[in-house]
Chains A and B, each alone.
Chain A
Amino acid sequence: MTATLAKEAPGPVEEPVLRKPPARKRLVPYWLLLPGIVWLLVFFALPMVYQASTSVQTGSLEKGFEVTWHFQTYWNAFQEYWPQFVRSLLYAGTATLLCLLLGYPLAYLIAFKAGRWRNLLLVLVIAPFFTSFLIRTLAWKTILADDSVVVDVLNALHFLDVTDWLGWTEGDRVLATPMAVVTGLTYNFLPFMILPLYTSLERIDGRLHEAAQDLYASPATTFRKVTFPLSMPGVVSGTLLTFIPASGDYVNAELLGSTDTKMVGNVIQSQFLRVLDYPTAAALSFILMAIVLGMVTVYIRRAGTEDLV
């Protein structure tokens, strides 16, 4: 059609006029972005710059601090506090793993088996948020206290003998041991694991399970080959939402731990608020951030979530 038309009417081909949307419409996305951008600038970007500058300052509280590009602070801080860094990552990692092991079955149950109880169970998952984080962590002090039922039972089962041997607890005590801190972290961050897991499990089409079973996959194989891979977005976001805040947490170590279980969060807190060594505290914060960013990047690459999330 077009070919014959062109033959019949040779001549300059008129460029079709492309109509642009009016400026008002094109600017809408930017207007929508504005409040968020302003908020981030004022409350995230500016403090970050301020902290960065603090970290390379020298001086004292009396004489005042000055930017001297003293990067030595970073090295000194890391050298002095690397055990706390290792401990933070270890505790946060263990708590994340425990959250995954505890949260996955529960999320699976809520997504596939709960039926009409689904909403009630979801409310129960987030119910702890109605109480302050601090109060809940303090409650664990009672739960894990030396003469508490939990500790007595664990003792009677000789569970504490095993954990003592592993170095997680000390003698008959649970409070003020690594296990207490990890337990607290696990408890406090569990909902952040369950909710993303639930969301990604719930999205899985139940008919895929049927299809897998129809194609000779036993229930276990169906889970391994279909359900779990499809829930990876939830696993990745759940572990990130647990690990990142847990690695910077100091409340659990403060309330449930001892001087031997200090995490890097505790160090930063005391440097800022008690020692008043602002440059070291800021440097520690940036080191922690760099480590976590690095680990998360490697993790997301390895988990291969580009086409899943």
Chain B
Amino acid sequence: MTDKNTGGDVRLTGISKSYGSFTAVHPLDLTVPQGSFFALLGASGCGKTTTLRMIAGLEDPTTGTVFLGDQDVTDLPPYKRPVNTVFQSYALFPHMDISENIAFGLRRRGIKSVKKQVDEMIDLVQLGEHAHKKPHQLSGGQQQRVAVARALINHPQVLLLDEPLGALDLKLRRQMQLELKRIQTEVGITFVHVTHDQEEAMTMADQVAVMNGGRVEQLGAPADLYENPRTTFVANFLGTSNLIEAEVLETGSDVLVTAGGGKLRLPGDRCTSAVRRGGKVLVGVRPEKISLAHADDAGEIADGRNRVTGRIVDSSFIGVSTQYVVNSPAGAELQVYEQNIERDARLVPGAQVVLHWNPAHTFGLDAAQDIDAGVETVEDAA
């Protein structure tokens, strides 16, 4: 993938996992480049943790092969793989103090003088004064750092993180995200991070694989996934998208479509599937790309922008921005995020408005998909 030394890539080829008749992971191929911060993102039950556990060796794949560099490790038990895991529950040994926990891996590999390394690692995660406490005497955030230290001290080829921040409160989570990113940059080890939190994945990872129903929906850099979702699931799961069902009028470098009586334009190269005249397409635009103008000011909108008229049904002020919900003939409950720079007092529920945006920010998705796939409720149910 890169021209760097690829000797340490994690390569999964045709790997799958079934439990009886239930398939947790459909055959998938995945390459995690050496030294990268890779995130597996998806709702619970999408197969991301199972995939991680197959890399760790805690789960035997039903089919396929796991390579670490050039070595086929599929049949190696976990304790023979140069891979360490930070568990969701931390799984710290309750009968050992912090430094014993951290030294565990080194001792198992027969390393006698571990003190110096352990002390260094305790310093790295800033737990100096807690070295001789038992895990239950530490807070969640501190336990989490012990779990990271216990894994990292072994200098694994790959560090696997299974939702390690899930149990922390929001503020601590943000802090630990940056902390983990810093550590990863410092030690240069490949991190594979499993999470259901799209913000976490986007903040930390160089590459994100979005998983759904045991399959990888899309793989790419966070910005790329966000700007160019290829499926409705990705469009809805990563942030919020307004998806409008439309009919194609003209094709070419620009595609002209009609939805709810209005016309919209989008770049032809941002359509994921072939569009043909008279066919259907899902037109997508992110809420923050849309500007809102009161219907009285409709004349001031520059030419060439996509417009949709509608009526505000709800608005909520959240500090940096205001979120509006707009019903229009083109689609119900369109989301618009407006920065609170100059607030127009007329934009209240009930007002007639025009939504307008640069056509370049519009993307087109295959209309054969479920338009609501990946909508937030999946996570709420988890």
Contact = CB atoms under 8 A, between A and B. Distances in A.
Interface of A: 205, 207-208, 210-218, 221, 225-226, 229-230, 307-308
B81 to A, nearest CB: 8
A83 B104 CA distance: 48
Contacts of A213: 57-58, 77-79
A218 B107 CA distance: 12
Contacts of B92: 211
Contact of A205 (B80, B89, B150): B89
20 contacts: A205-B91, A207-B87, A208-B94, A210-B91, A211-B87, A213-B77, A214-B78, A214-B79, A214-B83, A214-B85, A215-B79, A215-B150, A216-B79, A216-B80, A216-B108, A216-B154, A217-B79, A217-B108, A221-B108, A225-B104
A229 B79 contact: no
B372 to A, nearest CB: 35
Given A211-B85, A215-B150, A308 B95 contact: yes
> Considering the complex of A and B, which 5 residue pairs feature the smallest CB-CB distances, nearest first?
A211-B91, A216-B108, A215-B105, A207-B91, A213-B78
Interface residues of B, number: 25
Contacts of B150: 215
Nearest to B147: A211
A225 B104 CA distance: 9
Interface in B93-111: 93-95, 104-105, 108-109
Kindly name the residue among A212, A213, A215 whose own CB sees the greatest number of chain B CB atoms within 10 A. Answer: A215
A214 B161 CA distance: 12
Contacts of B77: 213, 218
Given A207-B87, A221-B108, A214 B58 contact: yes
Contact of B84 (A208, A215, A218): A215
A121 to B, nearest CB: 24
Contact of A229 (B89, B91, B95, B105): B95
A218 B91 contact: no
A221 B89 CA distance: 22
Kindly name the residue among B83, B105, B134 whose own CB sees the greatest number of chain A CB atoms within 10 A. Answer: B105
Contact of B87 (A210, A216, A229, A230): A210
Contacts of B325: none
A214 B84 contact: yes
A6 to B, nearest CB: 32
B56 interface: yes
B109 A208 contact: no
Contact of A230 (B80, B94, B105): B94
Nearest to A230: B95
A210 B94 contact: no
B79 A218 contact: yes
A202 to B, nearest CB: 15
Nearest to A210: B58
A242 B201 CA distance: 55
